[in-house]
Amino acid sequence: MTYLMLTGRTVNQGVTVENKTSAEYAAETSTCFMHEFDMLELGLDNGDTIRVTGPCGEVVMRAVMSEEVGMGTVFVPYGPYANHVVAADTHSTGMPDFKSHQVEIEPTDEEPKRVHELMEDLGGLAYDR
Amino acid sequence: MIVKDAVCPFCGCLCDDIEVEVEGGRVVAVTNACELGTTKFMGEKRMKNPILRDGNQWKEITCDEAVRYAADMLLDAERPLLYGWSGTHGEAQCVGVHMAELVRGVIDNTSSVCHGPSILAIQEVGHPGCTLGVVKNRADLVIYWGSNPIDAHPRHLSRYTRYAEGFFLENAFRDRKVIVVDVRRTETAEIADEFVQIKPGGDYAVLSALRAIVQGKTETIPRTVAGVTREQLVRVANLCKSAKFGAVYFGLGLTMTRGKYKNIRNAIELVSELSRHTKFTISAMRGHYNVYGSNEVNTWMTGYPFGIDFSRGIAFYNPGETTAVDILARKECDAALIVGSDPAAHFPRRCLEHLSEIPVVQLDPYPNATTAFCNVQIPVAVTGIDAEGTAYRMDGVPIRTRKVLSSDYLSDREVLLQMYTLMQEAKGQ
């Protein structure tokens, strides 16, 4: 199924943002807030893992029911997970489409990776696991 | 020891009424700050020493070695990128611009991925803005458009709008109306007098519809515009026209969606239209505590607010070409100095793939996502905690942040000055 992915600040993202190697930051920024009917349609319970595929890659997140988003739209606190699927095209403005990406979402049995694992997949070396 | 009137170095509100209790060189209690600010003041997970990536392991090096590494990296590079700058003080930003000019590099700040589009719009049609104090004391209508202050700027509502007293308002809570326009029913929407829910991507159309209604052309409006009924649009337009003083605060909901700077341009033009009927202002909800400062410093030093390319020997500015995401995605830069930001957490993955292929030096107090891509990271003092310096609030008011405790860490400015001195010597200056 295809959804519109928005990203943005949440309080929990903000309080963990200076502690990016923490499990709390990873948990918050790998949360995909969805409408309950969309979750029902995909057969998802709260906290189930999902594979989110965007124009330039895929990443595993956790689906959490939210009354804030409408059907067809999902919200992800901004951070390394959302940016794993966001394209770098800026349409000559300098700004990527952080709030207007179409993504595919499907249930999966895989667990979300930790932040340092995502960085190492791209050629980095974790300092503080 | 209790430090009064400390300045919070988290968001663009730059709250200057914080009380910080310090004991044994640590912050042990924080009063008046929001959850975001309190956590930042209490943060303890600092990196202890500069580190160098040595193959597949990290080793600690001295600050002098780290500074020398960074200076050599920038001097050797053909097209270095100096990025970040919003999480540090103006005095450090100043040194950064000098360094970029010396090595003919590109200097960009985080506004290219937050309110850069807002600045592009302001360059087209101007900025009818005002300070937060004016809004607090005069505004009887506040519109939050595409912004969610409860999560991103928690004290904006209590210090300046919904829950603030106003000198010219008899009963501010009763007399001040709040309208929230968003694609999500956020917590901020719950405390609004009127919530306008727009279909994603529909901001431009709704702004245009409101402009038409304010111009008296209601009959041209269809029954719904991007999911908003004509009746609600007319109600909102009337609320705006009947206000004595209205203030629009917009967030990344306008800058990061389709249309980008054109959305902001339309919002500014709506405000101009409303100012024919009453007083109206518009301002951006700036994120980092000193992202406004990075625009100010860059502008008064180079003429441009972000994305400045010195490769021609003069300042050149062309967002989309000279901005960090584009330069990294095109694999154009051959070295990067990152100061006061974390691009690995906030840039698309394609940019990170290039970061992993070039030498990177970062100045940051904490291990973060970008640390993984660094060749060298130098831990520095945190502005507003163990370093002081000037920051610009979201309304452009410069505020001197205070030092609440002393530490052995050097400030960003001190480390950058050491680098700059080495670079000047190498260039024979």
E strands, B137-275, in order: 141-145, 177-182, 194-197, 224-225, 228-229, 245-250
Residues B155 and B270 in one domain: yes
Over the stretch B239-252, which tens digit does the pLDDT of each residue have? 999 999 999 999 99
Global pTM reads 0.96
Q: Which residue of B has its CA nearest to A88?
A: B348
pLDDT at B125 over 80: yes
Per the CB < 8 A criterion, the answer to whether A90 and A59 are in contact is: no
Neighbours of B186 (CB within 10 A): 25
The gap from C-alpha B38 to its chain's centroid, in whole angstroms, comes to 19
**Mean pLDDT value across residues B325-338:** 98
Over the stretch B268-284, which tens digit does the pLDDT of each residue have? 999 999 999 999 999 99
Q: Which of B350, B353, B380 to mutate to test the interface with A (most CBs of A within 10 A)?
A: B350
Q: Looking at residue B393, which CATH number applies to its domain?
A: 3.40.50.740
Percentage of chain B beyond pLDDT 90 is: 98
Residues B352 and B276 in one domain: no
Write out residues 29-88 of A within 8 Å (CB-CB) of B.
29, 56-57, 67-70, 73, 75, 78-80, 83-88
Residues B338 and B401 in one domain: yes
Neighbours of B318 (CB within 10 A): 14
B11 lies in a domain? no
Closest CA to B328 of B314, B312, B349, B306: B349
β partners of residue B30: B20
Residues B320 and B412 in one domain: yes
Closest CA to B81 of B410, B359, B408, B356: B359
Q: Provide the residue range defining the domain that includes B348.
A: 46-113+289-426
Q: Which residue of A has its CA nearest to B262?
A: A93
Neighbours of B137 (CB within 10 A): 17
* Predicted local confidence at residue B74, as pLDDT: 98
Residues B381 and B244 in one domain: no
Distance from CA of B151 to the nearest CA of A (A): 5
What is the number of structural domains in chain B?
A: 2
Per the CB < 8 A criterion, the answer to whether B289 and B8 are in contact is: yes
Per the CB < 8 A criterion, the answer to whether B149 and B159 are in contact is: no
**Which of the four pLDDT bands, split at 50, 70 and 90, describes residue B117?**
very high
Reduce the DSSP state of residue A37 to 3 states and report it.
helix
**Which of the four pLDDT bands, split at 50, 70 and 90, describes residue B45?**
confident
**Mean pLDDT value across residues B208-217:** 98
Q: Looking at residue B209, which CATH number applies to its domain?
A: 3.40.228.10
Spatial neighbors of A15 by CB under 8 A, at least 6 apart, are: B35, B36, B39
Residues B120 and B99 in one domain: no
Residue at which a domain ends, from B284, B314, B342: B284
Is B8 touching A (CB cutoff 8 A)? no
Residues in B touching A11 (Cβ below 8 Å): 35-36, 150-151, 154
Residues B130 and B279 in one domain: yes
Residues in B touching A4 (Cβ below 8 Å): 200
Per the CB < 8 A criterion, the answer to whether B215 and B107 are in contact is: no
Q: Which residue of B has its CA nearest to A21?
A: B368
| Number of Cβ pairs < 8 A linking chain A and chain B | 191
**Which of the four pLDDT bands, split at 50, 70 and 90, describes residue B93?**
very high
**Mean pLDDT value across residues B183-189:** 95
Is B36 touching A (CB cutoff 8 A)? yes
B150 lies in a domain? yes
pLDDT at B122 over 90: yes
The yes/no answer to whether this complex scores an ipTM above 0.90 is yes
Per the CB < 8 A criterion, the answer to whether B364 and B92 are in contact is: no
B30 lies in a domain? no
Written out in words, the top-level CATH class of the domain with range A2-121 is: mainly beta
B26 lies in a domain? no
Closest CA to B408 of B386, B376, B390: B386
Residue at which a domain ends, from B226, B258, B284: B284
Residue at which a domain ends, from B284, B318, B338: B284
Is A10 touching B (CB cutoff 8 A)? yes
Cβ pair B113:A57 closer than 8 A: no
